[in-house]
Structure 1
């Protein structure tokens, strides 16, 4: 018997070369072309952070890339979270390299360069509510630290002995006033983390007793009792009061696994949410059982508001039947709000109202009262700064339609303000302009009592023109206060007073800078530059960019952004990459709406395919790939519609005279990678493909994907039809697969690329599989993004031809 087994193994091994399974290719990290390398290594532009009092400006420069050393740090992956094993700081936290402060409205005022603590990783800048101070954190070898800065001087001081807990609620601060706050900290003397047993002492057992529980394919779930103990050890935190004047801190009598901490009213109460056992091996931490509690500002428990059970047994698109989504009022009333389902959480139930908003008032001894019923599913509650109203938003999932109401917090019922498709761009009313209260809460800014301010992208068929509107809550009247010209592109950020507006202005040749604009009855007055950031990538200004609109065979409007290399000459037909991401629409008119603007400053992320233009390729970026139909069954036509889209894109590129249809590749990231693999499997339109961090076998995501609401067993033929893995023998074009080794996105675990590679290699396909060490769904290390650029460029040169070859 042993001899037979050995013979079978040897026979199987002998077959490997005949089915194309090659040995690993050890190349090391490769660098892209000098032109791409120069752009990757350019200095980052600063972020502009305006203080809540509108007087100060922080210019924040963050490190563009992680290091391989950072990716290799010991990281715990528990309950859907990833965090540094030594300090609890979330993995991938951006590092602050430089911080400068200055007066907002005086560009000639001297800048104060904040001397950051040496060593460690500086992160998590935030303003105090009055703008007089700011906070940063430092991850050091000793732990995570909290530092307080004075805006006037830029001087930093560490809060002694304090170790912020970042595992469950990173950056969560409950401001009691402008200088007092409560945050979660690592408990003193918590001891050593639980050690893994050297020898397993019991089997791991899970059970489901007759109740359906459709769960998405999450990454980093708990897998054992030791994982549970480790998660609880790192997640437990103590509520700690801090005074920014004296830097004194005091632990409050509350230690638990807190996921949320909010101040209530004017800081007289705290609303907390904490996780409890039992944990789950199929859900992430935010679906674990939760207890919502009201506490005094001293941390003492006043009342239990709700016990939210584990979120299992919930159908796709359904919600829990009991209380959910809790809000602490930012107003003097100090009320607590939450939402309850009136349809049992079942989206298929036929009911007049699906949800209702509840309110519990001080002294919190009575029963909660109903504030508002909604015919559709609750989405969001935004409080106004008048203390009397809120904006209540619901969504009709069947129509992909959203509606916003003005909700009086006391007395009368709400009334609708505006409604539109979820994907609407051209007629989108904008989103409310917010401001910060002394208690740190963000509220909708009102103007003159009966108006709110709405800022929007101002999408048009010719591109975006951002705007700022004054919207009357009394009669729905709209007054346009500002709209960007065609050029330069200008986004309204902050209304200082009725006559002065701060904008973010940019053009194809100028990077984003803050400007101060005068507003008057006759239009826009003088404009003054508030910042003067220089262009760090002038070489990109030579790239030619154009928005191209056209139609597919059934009349649906499509578009793409065409990028031509700096050395492109009129009439040349270059090898071309089409890069796209499918989106579902219920309305063909909305599917064709254009996004973006040709008048914006061109900046490119490290892994962007746009950098391929510097190697001579034409890139058709953001090529629209709409899937139109009834949202319940829209994916039934997925393959037919992406094929129709692709044909129209190729035909338009050929018509423009920039592309050779015989030398075109298709690519995408995540769902775009899924699209690219399907196009190669079911059409002969493209000569090569690039698929990054995708999912290719839909039987591994059996309870829905993207907007698909049916499970594998409800739509088995569809799941198989849309799995390019099942059609591996049909993928004859060369396919480059790239995946992060530590991909934590739902449904796109590295196994997806690994199995597709094995399927293609085993059936004689031409395929290359690149697994990036330590990288997640996106790629962050300089070595990784450089290597990705090299891989994509070499792949296209190999199978489409070198665009600069004679």
Structure 2
């Protein structure tokens, strides 16, 4: 019998903490195609629980909620903005989204459709601009009636058969279609009618109703590429692997041709870099009026097959002449990733291979058949220090993105490459002028390193042919420091003058003097590690003594020791507190690198436990050596794979930590027998590794208190059942533990009630099991509760959490903390 605590329901942390967590995130930005306007979109901090509690369905791996798919998009000429407006629910209505348009100059907004009975279908692709005055929109077919009712008597038994001896290996899946009734529901909710609607409200249907998942108009505004899925469906894969048809239509409603009709893809191998057979990634060339390109695997989509070439990229016009065959654009020995186009003369093609972390960039001349591809970069994707960055893009008059060509007084073709600029001293973002003819590059801008962290976000210069003079460059730049929130600037060349365009206040001035430092240390085996250390304002270790500390992390896999030890963070970035930020409480060691390295043919996970402990010991030893953490008051926590890490550390390294906090984790790897994370071997190929890595299998060895939190509707392989079974195993061995299940929440937690309650739970746990010295009893900010207890309150979504420095607030006199949960 489960004993419930004396006080149940959602709880709140102290008011001072609520005020910090309730701060909304920074506004996102959208640039007009001609770069003459910037649209800032404000976002709320967290939705209410009532919003997540609305009835919805998860079918074929997608959440069916007709009101959740909201977006905004500018017209190709930047003169109008289309956006969705959600109305309050109406009785009997299953769609409450309306499409509006606003004039970018005047701000005047109005509904687009004249008819009030037209309802948007927001399940997949919602709408796209076809030209500056016409949109292609998914609406609910007018003939759709009431939703199918589940029969009282089922159609029959659920049967899954493999009498054909097919080899089908799949990673764990959840919430796929279970029966014929769910197939009917998927058809009912996902089917859309496409309509072309002009700015004056004239509506014209296009094509037949279908389940459209992707809408793509051609750059010349003449064709529509429509992608839909169809039967037969599957009960073991999501809609992304259902049979898929791609068709071409004209904007006038004339069917042109079928580009492909791919069969059901249940048998894609689990090996990394395996793909679907047939045409994939069919796209329009952004630098041409109506030219298509796509990729086809030559290995049958199986990465285990050795073949050369592995991928071929093809190209052809929308309406090829009779007998005209597709043009072979490029042959690749690794797996195709993408192409960045640059108006015909040049393009950058990228290929990669997961197992070796190899990535290559080729310069191709798509419209010059006599020029062979030329290798530009050949490097390890793990090597952040050698990253050349990515090309700066600009918009064409059609609204497509191509690489900007930079006009200089030098010979050759030049483009700009922007990168994060990882260095041993921290990230220093940069802009390089790259001569793609010779490969030579020159650094023309980089962030300051003394105080600010600056990053070039986008090119603000505009030219109809995307040819920009070097001395006429304009960039959108973000600029921040440890104590100043990020602001946006426009940098104007040639004098590089910066014009500030935003002036956001400090989101939490009570934490303006929070101490933040990037620290460096080593594992016993010599692997270099880094972490971000947060300390309360005014704290001095020699004067105030060591603090209680929380270590919050997430392990990462690497193929080399050198890459694992590289610094990928900046000491000058602002500490933004949001739902994905680690909980801050007293001292916090955030994101210490926990590299799991498998060099050469070694499998990293065969030494997972050994390397996990070594990294944790190095982190603990460093903060104890610095005198900022009490060795008996160090907690460990993490989300998802970080929760898995937390449970393993409490089992294998109990001497390091006093307690743990594990959120949305999977603790038993046997229910995922065909791989997890970057592990590609099956359970039967690496049985010992699967077993040894599973903390569930050694729950009897865990003695330290652990708080388990999980979203009840987690649709990933880390289902709430994993936390529930792990809790049962721990309780069965008398381990101090607590399980909190958040209803309506998924893998990450979103609703304000859930976020606040998780902070309350975390505060209570750390106060009780971390903040007090052995033998000392301290008054927690929250009510006590039995240590080994399941709490199923039905809450909802956040990933890592935020909570802030009780000691810090005491230092700066914000006031006394009270329990506001009543």
TM-score, normalised relative to structure 2: 0.87
Say whether the 8 Å CA contact 1:632–1:709 is kept in structure 2: no
* 2:400 counterpart of 1:427: no
Tell me the residue number matched to 2:167: 212
Cα distance in 1, alignment partners of residues 86 and 24 from structure 2: 23
The match for 2:348 among 391, 394, 397 is: 391
Tell me the residue number matched to 1:335: 291
Deviates more, 1:751-760 or 1:335-344: 335-344
Q: Which SS does the other structure have where 2:761 is aligned?
A: helix
Cα distance in 1, alignment partners of residues 191 and 24 from structure 2: 39
Q: What are the residue-to-residue correspondences of 1:184-195 with 2, within 5 Å? A: 184-195=138-149
User: What's the offset of the Cα at 1:41?
Assistant: 2.2
Q: What are the residue-to-residue correspondences of 1:546-561 with 2, within 5 Å? A: 546-561=517-532
Deviates more, 1:546-555 or 1:293-302: 293-302
Cα distance in 1, alignment partners of residues 185 and 26 from structure 2: 39
Cα distance in 2, alignment partners of residues 414 and 233 from structure 1: 48
User: What's the offset of the Cα at 1:704?
Assistant: 0.6
Say whether the 8 Å CA contact 2:523–2:614 is kept in structure 1: yes
User: What's the offset of the Cα at 1:177?
Assistant: 2.2
Tell me the residue number matched to 1:562: 533
User: What's the offset of the Cα at 1:450?
Assistant: 2.1
Cα distance in 2, alignment partners of residues 340 and 801 from structure 1: 58
Cα distance in 1, alignment partners of residues 82 and 525 from structure 2: 55
User: What's the offset of the Cα at 1:127?
Assistant: 1.6
User: What's the offset of the Cα at 1:186?
Assistant: 1.8
Say whether the 8 Å CA contact 2:219–2:400 is kept in structure 1: no
Deviates more, 1:360-369 or 1:693-702: 360-369
Tell me the residue number matched to 2:665: 694
Cα distance in 2, alignment partners of residues 368 and 25 from structure 1: 71
User: What's the offset of the Cα at 1:259?
Assistant: 1.1
* 2:571 counterpart of 1:598: yes
Query: Judging changes above 3 Å, is the alpha-carbon distance between structure 1 residues 22 and 639 closer, same or farther for their aligned structure 2 residues?
Result: farther
User: What's the offset of the Cα at 1:528?
Assistant: 2.2
Cα distance in 1, alignment partners of residues 537 and 14 from structure 2: 15
Cα distance in 2, alignment partners of residues 75 and 445 from structure 1: 44
Tell me the residue number matched to 1:467: 430
Say whether the 8 Å CA contact 2:483–2:574 is kept in structure 1: yes
Deviates more, 1:326-335 or 1:647-656: 326-335
Tell me the residue number matched to 1:579: 552
User: What's the offset of the Cα at 1:54?
Assistant: 1.4
Tell me the residue number matched to 1:266: 220
Deviates more, 1:40-49 or 1:63-72: 40-49
Tell me the residue number matched to 1:712: 683
Q: Which SS does the other structure have where 1:254 is aligned?
A: strand
Q: What are the residue-to-residue correspondences of 1:502-541 with 2, within 5 Å? A: 502-520=476-494, 525-541=496-512
The match for 2:108 among 135, 155, 159 is: 155
Say whether the 8 Å CA contact 1:178–1:440 is kept in structure 2: no
Say whether the 8 Å CA contact 2:482–2:516 is kept in structure 1: no
Q: Which SS does the other structure have where 1:510 is aligned?
A: coil
* 2:204 counterpart of 1:241: no
Superposition CA RMSD, Å: 2.0
Q: What are the residue-to-residue correspondences of 1:444-459 with 2, within 5 Å? A: 444-448=403-407, 450-459=413-422
Tell me the residue number matched to 2:625: 655
* 2:631 counterpart of 1:668: no
Cα distance in 2, alignment partners of residues 791 and 636 from structure 1: 35
The match for 1:71 among 52, 55, 66 is: 52
Say whether the 8 Å CA contact 1:551–1:558 is kept in structure 2: yes
Say whether the 8 Å CA contact 1:254–1:300 is kept in structure 2: no
User: What's the offset of the Cα at 1:333?
Assistant: 4.8
Query: Judging changes above 3 Å, is the alpha-carbon distance between structure 1 residues 495 and 407 closer, same or farther for their aligned structure 2 residues?
Result: same
* 2:390 counterpart of 1:409: no
Say whether the 8 Å CA contact 1:609–1:789 is kept in structure 2: no
Say whether the 8 Å CA contact 1:607–1:785 is kept in structure 2: no
Consecutive unaligned residues of structure 2, counting only runs of 5 or more, are 462-471, 780-822
Tell me the residue number matched to 1:101: none
* 2:304 counterpart of 1:348: yes
* 2:169 counterpart of 1:180: no
Cα distance in 2, alignment partners of residues 132 and 288 from structure 1: 38
The match for 2:254 among 263, 286, 300 is: 300
Cα distance in 2, alignment partners of residues 156 and 518 from structure 1: 32
Say whether the 8 Å CA contact 2:556–2:594 is kept in structure 1: yes
Cα distance in 2, alignment partners of residues 264 and 306 from structure 1: 17
Cα distance in 2, alignment partners of residues 708 and 322 from structure 1: 27
Tell me the residue number matched to 1:622: 591
**How many residues matched?**
741
Tell me the residue number matched to 2:336: 378
Cα distance in 2, alignment partners of residues 250 and 24 from structure 1: 60
Say whether the 8 Å CA contact 2:532–2:590 is kept in structure 1: yes
Say whether the 8 Å CA contact 1:607–1:779 is kept in structure 2: no
Tell me the residue number matched to 2:767: 797
Give CA-to-partner distance per residue, 1:623-663, whole Å, 9 cap, x none. Answer: 10101114762111111101110110111111111011221
Tell me the residue number matched to 1:120: none
* 2:447 counterpart of 1:484: yes
Say whether the 8 Å CA contact 2:475–2:491 is kept in structure 1: yes
User: What's the offset of the Cα at 1:379?
Assistant: 1.2
Deviates more, 1:490-499 or 1:368-377: 490-499
Tell me the residue number matched to 2:238: 284
User: What's the offset of the Cα at 1:281?
Assistant: 0.9
User: What's the offset of the Cα at 1:721?
Assistant: 1.1
Q: Which SS does the other structure have where 2:16 is aligned?
A: helix
Tell me the residue number matched to 1:136: 83
Tell me the residue number matched to 1:31: 12
Say whether the 8 Å CA contact 2:483–2:513 is kept in structure 1: no
TM-score, normalised relative to structure 1: 0.89
